[in-house]
């Protein structure tokens, strides 16, 4: 199988568990194993479905998903801009 270039924000599917959603996290362990954290769509736009952790080898890219124009800092402001 060809190695896909899955990126955070892509719409992906775990072909074994049949779960489809947005890749909103990536975990790489010391042994080299890679897992994607998939956030499925909400149920009736009200209840957020539980995220799923899937092995990289089971995931395929479905679409471009979502992209943020500008990344926000964790604290809500950019400390670099505050320096003079």
User: Is residue 3 domain-resident?
Assistant: no
Query: Do the Cβ atoms of 14 and 23 come closer than 8 Å?
Result: no
Residue-wise pLDDT tens digits, 4-55: 699 999 999 999 999 999 999 999 999 999 999 999 988 777 888 889 999 9
User: Is residue 73 domain-resident?
Assistant: yes
User: Is residue 6 domain-resident?
Assistant: no
Distance CA 57, CA 66 (A): 22
Cβ contacts of 26 within 8 Å, gap of 6 or more: 8, 34, 35, 36, 37
pTM of model > 0.85:
no
Parent domain of 16 = 11-82
Distance CA 6, CA 65 (A): 11
Question: Does the pLDDT at position 62 exceed 90?
Answer: yes
User: Is residue 67 domain-resident?
Assistant: yes
- Hey, is 19 helix, strand or coil? strand
User: Is residue 71 domain-resident?
Assistant: yes
């Amino acid at each position: 199988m060809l190695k896909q270039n899955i990126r955070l924000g892509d719409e992906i599917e775990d072909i074994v568990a049949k779960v489809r959603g947005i890749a909103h996290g990536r975990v790489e362990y010391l042994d080299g194993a890679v897992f994607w954290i998939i956030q499925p769509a909400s149920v009736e736009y009200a209840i957020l479905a539980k995220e799923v952790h899937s092995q990289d080898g089971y995931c395929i890219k479905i679409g471009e998903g979502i992209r943020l124009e500008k990344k926000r800092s964790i604290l809500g402001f950019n400390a670099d801009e505050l320096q003079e």
